[in-house]
Structure 1
Amino acid sequence: MLERKKSINLNTFYYAFSFFLFLLFLLNPQLSKATVPTTTQNCQTNIHSVQIVQSDANNPSQIKAQTWENVDRLPDYWDKRWKGYHSSAWYKVLWTQKCPFNIQEPVTLTISHINMAGEIYLNDEFLWKDQSLVEPLSRSWHNPRYWILPSSSLKQGQNTLWIRVVGTPTQKSGLGPVHLGEHTQIMDIYKQAVLEKRSLPSLNLFVNLIVGLFCLIVWLFIRSEYAFKWFGFVTILWLIYSYLVLRSDPLLSLTSTTIDRFSVITFSIYASVGCIAAWRFAKSTFPKAEKILLFFCIFSTIIILFVPIQYLPTTLNLVFLIGVIIFILKCLTYPYIAYKSKLKEAYFLSLQYLFFFPIAINDAIYMLTLKGQILSPYTAPISTITVGLVLAYRLSNNAKSIAQFNKTLEQSVIQAKDELSVSLNNQHQLALENVKLQERIHFSHDLHDGLGGSISRSLILLEKYDHIEKDQMLSILKLLRNDLRQTIDFGSSQESQIPATPILWAAHIRHRFVMIFEEMEISSKWDIIPQWQSTPSTLQCLTLARVAEEALNNIVKHSQATEVKVSLYEAQQKLILEIEDNGIGFIPHEVEAGLHVGLHSMQQRVSRLNGQFEINSKSGQTILKVSLPFTA
């Protein structure tokens, strides 16, 4: 039942999560908004030339007269133009604005990205700069910006835009596309750039966060779902990598090269762990391949952390490229793995990986060259659809499993009830047989101790006299009849009346044996307490009576005693019977080994009432002591 509750709770979470992701992409305005550029109605803005020069100057006036190099198009990266140069450079953008009637209008400027940080001057006047132009650098390579250039700062005719770019050794340093023009038109370009470089990646980051948390929650609920644990770790790694790429402000005083080291390490681990997660999802393991991936992660991490700075760019690109190859191989081989696993959930995941294959190649080229357009932010809906299909399939399977479980449980309950009924009937029959057997045993003990004792005493009397009178014979027969009636009517039943006093309890025993003792010249002493201090039960009275009769009968038959003492008293919340004689005695354990019926019967009677049965015997003295607790 516990597993069933867990499954029901997870199903509810599946429904809520799937509905949330559906609304997220259905209602997100960034994804549904179309950008339609507009054209200016009044002024015409044209960029005539873009030039670049190496310089560490802090402003345009400090730039020494050098030879400027023409830039054919933007974006521009100087890694091929100046190999090994990673300091800073100035871009000079010459542009004109022609307005009718010589009326100057504000111009809007947007720059797609600056790699890695920069500052801007307009006609030698400061316009803007990044938060930090020295290490730790700001990171503007995925951060589009726009400015409204006031008409008071513009010149009629040619204007100059000075853009300083501070580069890093580990990234392609340079300047992204620059657009100048009427505000509405430029804002459309800016919004499109923000959508591609900030909004969609941020949304992708958020969706992956939700999916990762979901996977970890599923794993916490069902620890056997190891694939969800691995996917949770993969998502966390992707979140860290994306965060390092998208962050624009300095991070914990880390230099740009340090951040790039950690980002590539994270990507290499992400690619390797992603393979393991996908394999686990298909219920497959590849020990050799997993060891190779583990070695790659450890080796690449050590190399990236300790490689000298002059070899760092090549090392980062190589490790990143290997990570991409690992991801691509996973995408290409997973359909076969899914086919071998025969799991429909794995089929959904394999379709997603086939879709990701060309996107991974495109984005790898973009990250290495910073040319083109990154496509991975657009994959969030695909990931969400895949997750939805997997969840829907698992919901269906869980519902079927629950239905089958209920059916099996119902059948098992019916079968268990039938088996229990049969078992109870068998136990009832055994109990009845046991009760009958116990009654027979008790009845046989009563016959032995009661009627058997009477017969033994009668035989002793008959052996004593050669001629028995009719009255004596009738008396013997009546005594036998009375003992038989007592055995049949009362036996060991608790419905018999308790004697009012101990003396009345001992009266019939005393009457039977005194006559025999006198005939056999045995003196007897009866030390009986006059009143009950604590009232015994009927069964206790009957048990003591049977024990007394059997013990006295044994004295008559075997002891050759001349003196007998019978005592009944109470001590320590116990009713105690003691019978002592001065006969020849016997060895108790030898008698017990000989299966003496009378002795065994006495012990059984006392044991049933949680009492104590003791015999101490030697030549000239035998003491039998029975103690019955009143709490019994």
Structure 2
Amino acid sequence: MMQKSTQYSFKFSKDTVMTVLFMCFMVFSGLFSTASASIPSQNPVDSCQIRVQQIEVAKGNLNQPMQKPTDGWIRLEKLPDRWEKRWPDFHDMAWYKVQFDYACKDPTQAPLSFALENITQSGRIFINDALLWSDLSLQEPASRSQYMPRQWNIASSSLKEGRNILWIQVYGSLTQKSGLGRLEMGINQHVYPIYKNWVLEKRTLAIFNVMICFVVGIFYFLAWFTNREERSFFWYGIINFCWILYSTCYLLSDPLLFSTTTLDRIQNIIFCFYTVAGCIAAWTFVHLSFDRLEKVLWIFFLCASVCLSLSPLPQLNSVIQIFFAIAMLIFLAKCICFPFLAYRSKLPESYLMAGVYLIFIPIALHDAHFVITMEGHPLSPYTGPFTTLALGAVLALRLARNSRQIKQFNKTLSENVYRARAELTESLEKQHQLALENVRLQERIHLSHDLHDGLGGSIVRSMLTLEHNEKIEKPQVMSILKLLRNDLRQVIDSGSSLTSKIPATPVEWAAPIRHRFVQLFEETDIRSKWHFEQQWQTQPSALYCITLTRIAEEALTNILKHSKATQVYVTLRENENGWLVLQIEDNGIGFSPAEVDSGLHVGLQSMRARIERIGGQFQVESQPGRTVIEVMLPFIPDIQQT
């Protein structure tokens, strides 16, 4: 049993840690209020004394659970005790016999207590053959007392002066290190603080860490939902909730619907997943990816899940130890390698995360030594809340940095948008000016074409009339001038095709042209034939009508001027494809079509440009005795002049 001075030193160190916890986590003061009672005065009470004389252990018999062993007792030097080294393949039930001397002059002055750190995994306690306490269930599904410290006050009537025996019946575990934890006996004011420290270490801090993990995990998931590109937030949320599940399995003490071995299988599968998810979270946090290594980790988790789920009970403990050891090695490798990854990433928060992972290494090694030797005290219960809060602080730093980057990006984006808008406005103004200039230029080109095709043709006809008539009277001159005036007015009025009136029939469209040129043809001994359909199969646009008028006038004028023809054929029809076709044929001397392409025939070039501008086709075939000009316009009734 521990000496008193050793107990006081241990108690003082734990109280110091508790004080630091209270200062750091004041918001959870209510949680710690049950574990933070100040230690009463430690002045010894001489009226009552308990002195442990001897502790022994022996194998029990499950067939006769209430019968204490008569032989096979082994004396122990101290507690805690784990019997796997003494009895490697024994997982049934054992009895611990604690012999102590009790002397008390006045039992009313100092109540006596004893506290037990843990029982692996369930059991009973007797005082001098009288049952003091029993777990709810000793058979599967059994209670789990390996993480549940307990304290009992001993009635004076249950003790006798001199030698007393405390019997502790322990039911072993196939997957846990079976045995008995530390035992403390004495007056209540000495035992209670030690019991409170055990509760703090095994229960309160674990529950507190679960609460912090839950809050931090929720924040991680919320951060991930707002920014799906930060996959590390998702994985850190996953590992927080994995640790919650793992700790829940650790904290469960009441019997469940399934056996304790099933719960141990589940707990170790969760730990393997926690290890794999932790590696992926660390890699994604520094924006790195190791696809092959990640596949290896998932294969490890799959193998662990299958083996832990299906291993027979005799081999289950070995399988758990193997995969737990591999998972711990993966965890330590992650903690060791992460600082190098943080250096590669050059991210400020990754350096802080690297510091947290480096802290994990000595804690994990220390706790591994504690589990093996049962010497000292674990550090993870005390450091767990701090490291979890540190991870949350790193999350806050990442979010703060992202927020600053987003703010700076929005500012830069606003400036770029403003600059682009100004440049676009300036560009649109320039385009508007260019468009106006282009419209003016197009209008000039159109006007020149109209003047050439319309008014120019009328002037040529007038000149021919004057050449063939030596005696021109004043009325005839006035008629010619009126005709030129009308043609000029038509050019001006046809500037906007949208306001032009569409002839009701092809005959109506051709009537003015036919009237003008038939008289000229007769004067020059040219016979003309005109063929038009009675109705439009598809009504053309005003632009089509004006364009065809200009083409016909230019072509017929050229025949009068240059062809020396005696016959002219003019037809307007709609072909099988729905195209409007104007064809003008004469039997004149012809010309070379190559001269048209070379630009020697300005009139024909003007006609071709006019037709191509509205999407039509212009074809010329010419040889001595036959010249054909054919114009084809697709049926687009709403076409506009560009």
TM-score tier, shorter chain, comes to 0.7 to 0.9
For residue 169 of structure 2, give the secondary structure of its aligned residue in structure 1.
strand
Aligned match of 1:140: 145
CA contact (8 A) 1:588 1:615 kept: no
Q: Which residue number corresponds to residue 19 of structure 1?
A: none
Unaligned runs of 5+ in 1: 1-21
What SS does the corresponding residue of 2:361 show, helix, strand or coil?
helix
Is it true that 1:482 corresponds to 2:485 in the alignment? yes
Asked if residue 36 in structure 1 is aligned to residue 38 in structure 2, the reply is yes
Bigger shift: residues 613-622 or 315-324: 613-622
- Cα distance in 2 for partners of 1:578, 1:325 equals 92
Name the structure 2 match of 1:14. Answer: none
CA RMSD of aligned residues (A): 5.3
**Amino acid of the structure 1 residue aligned with 2:39:** P
Aligned to 1:3: none
Residue 348 of structure 2 corresponds to residue 344 of structure 1: yes
- 1:253 and 2:258 matched: yes
Question: Aligned with 2:90: secondary structure?
Answer: coil
CA distance in 1, matches of 2:611, 2:290: 74
Q: Which runs of 5+ in 2 are unaligned?
A: 1-22
Give the AA of the match of 1:56: N
* Partner deviation per Cα, 1:172-214 (whole Å, 9 max, x = no partner): 2112233456666655443332221112112212322333444
Per-residue deviation, 1:112: 1.8
2:449 is aligned to 445
Cross-structure match for 1:5: none
Contact persistence 1:230–1:276 (CA under 8 A):
yes
Return 446-455 or 105-114, whichever deviates more: 105-114
**2-side partners of 1:54 and 1:500: how far apart?**
121
Q: Distance in 1 between matches of 2:472 and 2:461?
A: 17
Question: TM-score, normalized by length of structure 2?
Answer: 0.73
Of 376-385 and 497-506, the range deviating more from structure 2:
497-506
* Cα distance in 2, alignment partners of residues 298 and 332 from structure 1: 24
Give the CA deviation at 1:138.
2.6
- Superposed, 1:283-432 pairs within 5 Å as 283=287, 313=317, 316-317=320-321, 320-321=324-325, 323-328=327-332, 330-332=334-336, 334-432=338-436
Does residue 120 (structure 1) correspond to residue 122 (structure 2)? The answer is no
* Residues 493 and 174 of structure 1, relative CA distance in 2, 3 Å threshold: closer
Q: CA deviation at 1:63?
A: 2.7
Quick one: distance in 2 between partners of 1:530 and 1:277?
84
| 2:96–2:167 CA contact under 8 A, matched in 1 | yes
The range that moved more, 473-482 or 87-96, is: 473-482
1:314, distance to aligned residue in structure 2 (A): 5.6
Q: Secondary structure at the match of 1:37?
A: coil
Matched position secondary structure for 1:141: coil
Letter in 1 for 2:493: F
Q: Is this contact kept in 1: 2:205–2:385, CA < 8 A?
A: no
SS of the counterpart of 2:125? strand
1:136–1:255 Cα contact (<8 Å) kept: yes
User: What is the distance in 2 between the residues matched to 1:85 and 1:337?
Assistant: 46
Indicate how the Cα distance of structure 1 residues 234 and 561 shifts in structure 2: closer, same or farther if over 3 A, else same: same
Indicate how the Cα distance of structure 1 residues 170 and 227 shifts in structure 2: closer, same or farther if over 3 A, else same.
same
Distance 1:297 1:567 in 2: 85
Report the more deviating stretch, 265-274 or 135-144: 265-274
Equivalent-residue separation in structure 2 for 1:352 and 1:50 (angstroms):
43
Contact 1:498 1:537 (C-alpha < 8 Å) held by counterparts: no
1:119-140, Cα deviation, whole Å (9 max, x unpaired): 2334434444333323343321
> Are 1:72 and 2:73 an aligned pair?
no
Query: In 2, distance between residues paired with 1:577 and 1:295?
Result: 77
What is the CA–CA distance in structure 2 between the aligned matches of 1:497 and 1:337, rounded to whole Å?
Answer: 78
Give 2:485's aligned amino acid. Answer: N
Q: Which residue of 2 aligns with 1:228?
A: 233
Please, which moves more after superposition, 46-55 or 604-613? 604-613
Secondary structure of 1:165 counterpart: strand
Equivalent residues in 2 for 1:37-56 (5 A)? 37-38=39-40, 44=48, 46=50, 48=52, 49-56=54-61
Letter in 1 for 2:79: L
3-state SS of 1:133 partner: coil
Shift of 1:141: 0.4
Residue 17 of structure 1 aligns with which residue?
none
Q: Distance in 1 between matches of 2:370 and 2:423?
A: 71
Query: Per the alignment, do residues 613 and 35 of structure 1 end up closer, same or farther by CA in structure 2, a change over 3 Å counting?
Result: same
Q: 1:360 to 1:64 in 2, by over 3 A?
A: closer
* Structure 1 residue 540 displacement after superposition: 6.6
Partner amino acid, structure 1, of 2:29: N
What displacement does 1:88 show?
A: 0.6
User: Secondary structure at the residue paired with 1:62?
Assistant: coil
Of residues 340-349 and 479-488 in structure 1, the stretch that sits farther from structure 2 once superposed is 479-488
Residues 336, 63 of structure 1: alpha-carbon distance in 2 compared, 3 angstrom cutoff = same
- Cα offset, 1:165, TM superposition: 0.4
Once residues 398 and 88 of structure 2 are traced to their aligned partners in structure 1, the CA distance between those partners, rounded to angstroms, is 55
| Partners of 2:591 and 2:131 in 1: CA distance | 125
* 1:276-315 per-position Cα deviation (integer Å, ceiling 9, x unaligned): 5435434556789778867766777777677776666566
| 1:115 Cα deviation after fit | 0.6
| Structure 1 residue 239: Cα displacement | 3.6
Point out the more displaced range, 88-97 or 613-622. 613-622
Deviation at 1:24, TM superposition (A): 6.1
Match of 2:168 among 158, 163, 167: 163
Q: CA deviation at 1:454?
A: 1.8
- Can you list the C-alpha shifts for 1:134-175, whole angstroms capped at 9, x where unaligned? 334332100123445566766676654432101124432112
C-alpha distance after superposition, 1:77-130 (max 9, x if no partner): 233444432211122344566555677997655422111111233443444433
SS at match of 1:92: strand
Deviation string 1:39-64 (CA, Å, 9 cap, x unpaired) is 79797362544332211257775235
CA distance in 2, matches of 1:622, 1:390: 87
CA displacement 1:587-610 (0-9 Å, x = unmatched): 999999798765665676677778
**Range moving further from structure 2, 613-622 or 208-217:** 613-622
**Cα separation, 2, equivalents of 1:231 and 1:360:** 19
Cα distance, 1:546–1:346 mapped onto 2, change above 3 Å: closer
- Retained in 1: the 8 A contact 2:62–2:92? no
Partners of 2:568 and 2:120 lie apart in 1 by 126
Deviations 1:429-469 (A, max 9, x none): 4323422332233123212221222233234334534x343
Q: Measure how far apart 1:499 and its partner are.
A: 10
Counterparts of 2:140 and 2:373, CA distance in 1: 23
Once residues 599 and 23 of structure 1 are traced to their aligned partners in structure 2, the CA distance between those partners, rounded to angstroms, is 97
Displacement of 1:480 in angstroms is 6.9
Paired residues of 2:209 and 2:388 also in contact (CA < 8 A): no
Give, as a single letter, the amino acid of the residue that structure 1 aligns with 2:240.
T
Contact kept? 2:453, 2:553, Cα under 8 Å: yes
Give CA deviations for 1:468-524 in whole Å, capped at 9, x if unaligned: 436488357625742663366435245988699999987765653343233235577
- CA offsets 1:296-351 (integer angstroms, 9 cap, x no match): 66777777677776666566546545544554455455445544543321221232
How far apart, in 2, do the equivalents of 1:431 and 1:203 lie?
A: 74
Distance in 2 between the 1:67 and 1:566 partners?
Answer: 131
Q: Which amino acid aligns with 1:361?
A: L
Structure 1 match to 2:28: 27
CA offset digits 1:395-414 (Å, max 9, x no partner) = 44334423432442244234
Q: How many residues align?
A: 607
1:11 is aligned to: none
Name the SS for the 1:91 alignment partner: strand
